[in-house]
């Protein structure tokens, strides 16, 4: 028996729809991602503040060198050498600070894409190029997936992300998530 590529693709899309997470598990996944992103965001803000302090120190050093030159403590050649070193350090710090800012902006786009990817994997797969479809399949089914012409796609090992979310549907799938939103340091309230 032979199956057309269109039918195989349609069956694969149906398989992707079967491994789609439930709304409550997707919400929990998004909460976890956002918490992690917020932790990273705070870390990046602290790094930027640290770089801002270094940039201010850099500017203060530059001004001090210029003042020493004006007072005759430093000759012009020594001043130029020191100002060149300070300019190089300023450029390095500025590049580092810009990289942190770009990282902050990209995180939100990445989270949105991850949610879209998980929510509607079939549509993402359908719109992908052939190379990306193969990569995409390996992301969801890292050890590949077998196709039997008589029954269609067989059972395959699913990626850790999908396993983590307990979204496989079937007889062995848990009815409810075993994940719990972690408590903070706030006191427990009665009741």
Last residue of a domain, one of 89, 119, 149: 119
CB atoms within 10 A of CB 68: 15
Q: What is the pTM of this model?
A: 0.48
For residues 147 and 105, state if they share a domain.
Answer: no
Residues 51 and 115 in one domain: yes
Distance set, CA 47 to CA 17, 96, 103, 136 (Å): 41, 9, 12, 34
Domains held by the chain: number? 2
98 plus 43 within the same structural domain: yes
Q: pLDDT 10s per residue in the chain (191 long)? A: 677 878 888 888 888 888 787 778 888 887 888 888 888 888 888 999 999 999 999 999 999 999 999 999 999 999 999 999 999 999 999 999 888 877 666 676 777 777 777 888 888 888 888 888 888 888 888 888 887 777 777 777 888 777 766 544 443 444 443 333 344 433 444 44
Closest CA to 25 of 176, 157, 182: 176
Task: Return the closest-CA partner of residue 19 out of 180, 160, 162.
Answer: 162
Residue 133 structural domain: 1-20+121-180
Using the 3D structure, point to which of 101, 119, 137 is the last residue of a domain.
119
Q: What is the pLDDT at residue 166?
A: 53
Output the CA–CA distances (angstroms, integers) from residue 178 to 9, 36, 117, 173, in the order listed: 33, 19, 22, 11
């Amino acid at each position: 028996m032979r199956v057309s590529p269109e039918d195989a693709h349609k069956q694969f899309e149906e398989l992707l729809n079967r491994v789609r997470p439930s709304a409550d598990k997707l919400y929990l996944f998004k909460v976890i991602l956002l918490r992690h992103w917020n932790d990273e965001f705070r870390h990046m803000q602290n790094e930027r503040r640290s770089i801002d302090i270094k940039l201010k120190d850099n500017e203060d050093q530059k001004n001090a060198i210029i003042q020493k030159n004006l007072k005759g403590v430093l000759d012009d050649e020594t001043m130029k050498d020191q100002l060149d070193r300070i300019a190089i350090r300023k450029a390095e710090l500025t590049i580092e600070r810009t990289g942190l800012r770009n990282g902050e902006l990209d995180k939100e786009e990445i989270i949105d894409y991850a949610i879209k990817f998980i929510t509607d994997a079939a549509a993402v797969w359908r719109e992908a190029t052939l190379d990306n479809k193969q990569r995409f399949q390996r992301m969801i089914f890292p050890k590949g997936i077998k196709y039997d012409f008589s029954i269609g796609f067989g059972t395959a090992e699913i990626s850790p992300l999908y396993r983590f979310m307990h979204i496989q549907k079937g007889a062995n799938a848990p009815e409810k998530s075993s994940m719990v939103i972690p408590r903070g340091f706030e006191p427990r309230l009665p009741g």
